[in-house]
Amino acid sequence: MQQRIVFHVDFDYFFAQCEELRNPELKTKPVVVCVFSDRGGDSGAIATSNYLARRYGVKSGMPIKFAKRKMEDVPEAVFLPTDFDYYSEISENAMNLIRKYADIFEYVGRDEAYLDVTKRTEGSFSNAAHLAQQLKNTIRSNTKLSSTVGVSTNKIVSKIASDFKKPDGLTVVEPGKIEHFLDPLPIKVIPGIGKKSEERFNEMKLQTIYDLKKVDVFSLNSMFGRKVGTYIYNAARGIDDEPVSPRADPIQYSRIITLKQDSKDFDFLSKDLEQLCVDVHDAIVKDSIVFKSVGIQFVQEDLSNRTKSRMLKNPTSSLEELKKTALQLLRESLEDQRLLIRRLGVRVSDFSEVAGQVDITRFF
């Protein structure tokens, strides 16, 4: 059988890099992207920051106040609010480029994806390394984004490889070198191992993946339950058979538009909503997808989001049912809608009947 080859592609310091793209002057300054909470002032958390800001110890998830304190003596530091619509637009463009490089494409999130490239590289790692470099070049020349790619025989090792050297990295782990690559790394590089699990291992005097391999599968199962325990046992050995699978990809099965004018009028909105349903349905038919859940989304005049969704009794690919459900959701939502709606979206999800669906509990 041919050697499987999987890429994990991750865009560098994504939100902050998007901000640099539209304002290149930011490139020489520490940039911190913040999710300000509605309590006002500096309450809220850091979404991400560029690498200059990371030098001062700024981290994702950190309270904005902490980050500002760390940057007290850095007057050139820039703190910006998030602009999700803009990041999504850049992400969509880049994802549509990347998609073409894969035999099988799996969207993971705004800034990352898995690509199975086994066929087109004929299972050759030198072909794969070449293709990965080409992919990075294409992303950069078309979108100006820098990205990092991990290459190996499976998803977990490729994900760890893409985290290994950032930004603008490319790490290729050939099949015979997996152990050599993983052994010295800290346990927390395993996707899904959080702070708590890491601390439990550290209490057991286990720091690296090499150390972790001394723990047998029974002990891991009793610590974490059978599913997660076995996952950790295999991950430490670079074993992962999970296929790259074209999962429910919100880019393909959702559509959102900016309305010609802000509104909360059913007749006005329903026309656009019906057209959105037709567009989503086209993608569904093309990929022979069935869905079991329909959702609508409002971006309101103050840029806040409102969503409403409904499970259907049975999986379907019917346009009629999609329209009917979406219009119902619209009617119900408008009953207590206070703000005007600026953007309107529709999406379908829960692709339970699609072959090869991914288990999303995978990274717990």
Binding positions for ligand DGT, 50-109, rule CB under 6 A: 60-61
Query: CB 230 → ligand DGT: shortest distance, Å?
Result: 26
| Contact of residue 167 among Ca ion, ligand DGT, none (CB under 5-8 Å per partner type) | ligand DGT
| Contact of residue 156 among ligand DGT, Ca ion, none (CB under 5-8 Å per partner type) | none
Name which position in 21, 35, 74, 251 contacts ligand DGT (CB under 6 A). 35
Query: CB 251 → Ca ion: shortest distance, Å?
Result: 16
Query: CB 340 → ligand DGT: shortest distance, Å?
Result: 26
* Residue with Cβ nearer Ca ion (235 or 273): 235
Q: Where are the alpha helices (DSSP H) in 100-187?
A: 118-121, 125-143, 155-164, 178-182
294: phi > 0 → left, psi -120 to 50 → alpha, else beta; which? beta
d(CA 94, CA 91): 5
* Residue with Cβ nearer ligand DGT (13 or 298): 13
Query: CB 111 → Ca ion: shortest distance, Å?
Result: 4
Name which position in 112, 240, 272, 350 contacts Ca ion (CB under 5 A). 112
Closest by CA to 334, choosing from 320, 349, 322, 344, is 344
| Contact of residue 116 among ligand DGT, Ca ion, none (CB under 5-8 Å per partner type) | none
Q: CA angle 334-338-339, nearest 5°?
A: 105
d(CA 324, CA 330): 10
Strand locations in the chain, DSSP E? 6-11, 31-36, 44-49, 78-81, 104-109, 112-116, 147-152, 170-172, 254-263, 291-300, 305-316, 341-349
Kindly state whether residue 166 participates in binding ligand DGT, applying the rule CB under 6 A: yes
d(CA 329, CA 321): 12
Kindly state whether residue 195 participates in binding ligand DGT, applying the rule CB under 6 A: no
Closest by CA to 136, choosing from 153, 148, 152, 121, is 148
Query: CB 211 → ligand DGT: shortest distance, Å?
Result: 25
Kindly state whether residue 47 participates in binding ligand DGT, applying the rule CB under 6 A: yes
Kindly state whether residue 111 participates in binding ligand DGT, applying the rule CB under 6 A: yes
Query: CB 239 → ligand DGT: shortest distance, Å?
Result: 24
Kindly state whether residue 12 participates in binding ligand DGT, applying the rule CB under 6 A: yes
Q: From the CB of residue 80, how many other CB atoms can be counted at a distance below 10 Å?
A: 17
Q: Catalytic residue numbers?
A: 112
Structure tokens, 75: 């007057």
Query: Using CA atoms in the order 68, 72, 76, 80, what is the torsion angle rounded to 10 degrees?
Result: 10
Structure tokens, 217: 């599968």
Structure tokens, 1: 């059988």
Query: CB 14 → ligand DGT: shortest distance, Å?
Result: 3
Q: CA angle 185-162-160, nearest 5°?
A: 40
Kindly state whether residue 325 participates in binding ligand DGT, applying the rule CB under 6 A: no
Kindly state whether residue 15 participates in binding ligand DGT, applying the rule CB under 6 A: yes
Q: Which stretch binds ligand DGT (CB under 6 A): 42-50, 129-137, 242-250, 280-288?
A: 42-50
Name which position in 7, 10, 44, 297 contacts Ca ion (CB under 5 A). 10
188: amino acid identity, one letter = K
Q: Which stretch binds ligand DGT (CB under 6 A): 4-12, 94-102, 200-208, 269-277?
A: 4-12
Name which position in 20, 111, 240, 272 contacts Ca ion (CB under 5 A). 111
Contact residues: ligand DGT, CB under 6 A: 10-15, 35, 45, 47-48, 60-61, 111, 166-167
Contact residues: Ca ion, CB under 5 A: 10, 14, 111-112
